[in-house]
Chain A
């Protein structure tokens, strides 16, 4: 029996090889369990049968076959291979084909958890990151973002659940389903990107010409969220509510703070938003109880005007990261010892869902 099965697998392999050059066949990986769902498909934990290496496999959903090979996958593969060899960006290993001519799998390195999930699990055990650990995470995140921006790429969907951490404490940015290239003579892009809670004001107001600064806003939200014990700072459910929450924290934009708001946004829209104009002061410090330097950094990241927002590179050398408590080294994050335990809990939860 077994021999027959082996023969069949061999046959399939040969067939696949003739179909798709040197690309390997998905049958060479054994699925362990589902890890989660990304923007463009499910993600599984799997083992490479040849090398016994644990990897993450992401299935690419194919929406429109009529136009040939889907554009989104072309872009994602292109982007991923452009961004490789950086420690803070999830490592993309190869493309693998499935039985069906049109199914494609992307193989990534395996990371234990995403940070949103980790905070959720830690919260159940009444644990949390220390400030120096938060600094370490944000520094690594900024380093990854800096690398992307240097290659003229915007991520467009930075949030805690897209930031992974592995058992060595290295933080990795993942899920590039929405990322795209950024050209200097600014071309219009779609404003319907980034999860609402992390969406920057210029996107909320649907300006089509945005820059890499949208990612910095998201990082600012992430930093504030981490300092806020894992509670999101702008958890709006509609775009209007989102705008209100931002106003409540950093005040209504003045002409000095954001000139374009008064020149580019339509009058009707602005009239509607004027009801928030009584929020005047910056309440970051009241809400987060952070140090002077931290406040300065947050103000620079969460600035209304995208032109005045700090760049990722500059943010990395901000004095906040050199003052006490100093950032820990990635390997010294306390929670790492328990990471596998948390990952296991996660797996159980996933299985229960089924």
Chain B
């Protein structure tokens, strides 16, 4: 029993349900997709430090937050929590994360204060019960790619996935 393979079991056990995440809120779906588009744009400006993983994590965190938040959120919340989830994602996935100064000035255009973003971050962490490490779409796709080509040593395929 000591020497076994637990990889797939791990992925399944940590899976989270993100479907219908806007059901409880007064947020039009188009606004969420605009936010997601904007995230691509933002992380595109940080190509040196951020990867696709960061982007998928940010979207995942935001969706999970929407899903688990019992309070009714309105349109204006999307911007703040979108920024906060990007901040949390970059801290989680990147080697050197985007600093809070940058988040406030360059990403948020001084619309929110540092304190506001820290509070929003805390709110997210609290709502999702610190479960920040659920598998995202990116995790699954990478895993499938490895499985299909069993290419963990093949440099070309590895470069494609990172």
A→B interface (CB under 8 Å): 19-23, 66-69, 71, 74-75, 77-78, 81-82, 84-88, 95, 101, 140, 143, 147, 150-151, 170, 183-185, 187, 189, 316, 330
Q: List 22 A-B contacts (CB under 8 A).
A: A20-B126, A21-B129, A21-B130, A67-B99, A67-B100, A68-B100, A68-B117, A68-B118, A68-B122, A71-B97, A74-B91, A78-B92, A78-B132, A81-B131, A84-B10, A85-B6, A85-B13, A101-B122, A147-B6, A185-B158, A185-B162, A189-B95
- Chain A positions within 8 Å of B100 at CB level: 66-68
Tell me whether A184 and B121 are in contact in the complex, defined as CB-CB below 8 angstroms, given that A150-B7, A330-B2 are known contacts.
Answer: no
What DSSP secondary structure best describes chain B's contact surface?
helix
Closest approach, in angstroms, between the C-beta of A165 and any C-beta of chain B? Answer: 14
Partner of B126, one of A21, A81, A316: A21
Closest approach, in angstroms, between the C-beta of B116 and any C-beta of chain A? Answer: 11
Residue among B95, B117, B155, B159 with max Cβ neighbours from chain A (10 Å):
B95
Tell me whether A77 and B130 are in contact in the complex, defined as CB-CB below 8 angstroms, given that A66-B100, A69-B125 are known contacts.
Answer: yes
Query: Which residues of B in the span 1-25 have a Cβ within 8 Å of any Cβ on A?
Result: 1-3, 6-7, 9-10, 13-14
B87 on the interface (CB 8 Å rule)? yes
B128 on the interface (CB 8 Å rule)? yes
B86 on the interface (CB 8 Å rule)? no
B88 on the interface (CB 8 Å rule)? yes
Closest approach, in angstroms, between the C-beta of A67 and any C-beta of chain B? Answer: 5
Is B122's CB under 8 angstroms from A81's CB?
no
B→A interface (CB under 8 Å): 1-3, 6-7, 9-10, 13-14, 87-88, 91-92, 95, 97, 99-100, 114, 117-118, 121-122, 125-133, 155, 158-159, 162
Cα(A88)–Cα(B155), bound, Å: 30
- Chain A positions within 8 Å of B155 at CB level: 184
Residue among A21, A143, A170 with max Cβ neighbours from chain B (10 Å):
A21
Is A69's CB under 8 angstroms from B122's CB?
yes
Is B2's CB under 8 angstroms from A69's CB?
no
Closest approach, in angstroms, between the C-beta of B55 and any C-beta of chain A? Answer: 16
Partner of B121, one of A21, A68, A151: A68
Cα(A189)–Cα(B96), bound, Å: 10
Closest approach, in angstroms, between the C-beta of A36 and any C-beta of chain B? Answer: 25
Q: List the B residue with the shortest CB-CB distance to A22.
A: B129
Cα(A185)–Cα(B51), bound, Å: 13
Cα(A101)–Cα(B118), bound, Å: 12
Cα(A107)–Cα(B131), bound, Å: 14
Residue among B2, B3, B128, B130 with max Cβ neighbours from chain A (10 Å):
B130
Is A78's CB under 8 angstroms from B133's CB?
yes
Closest approach, in angstroms, between the C-beta of A181 and any C-beta of chain B? Answer: 8
Q: List the A residue with the shortest CB-CB distance to B159.
A: A185
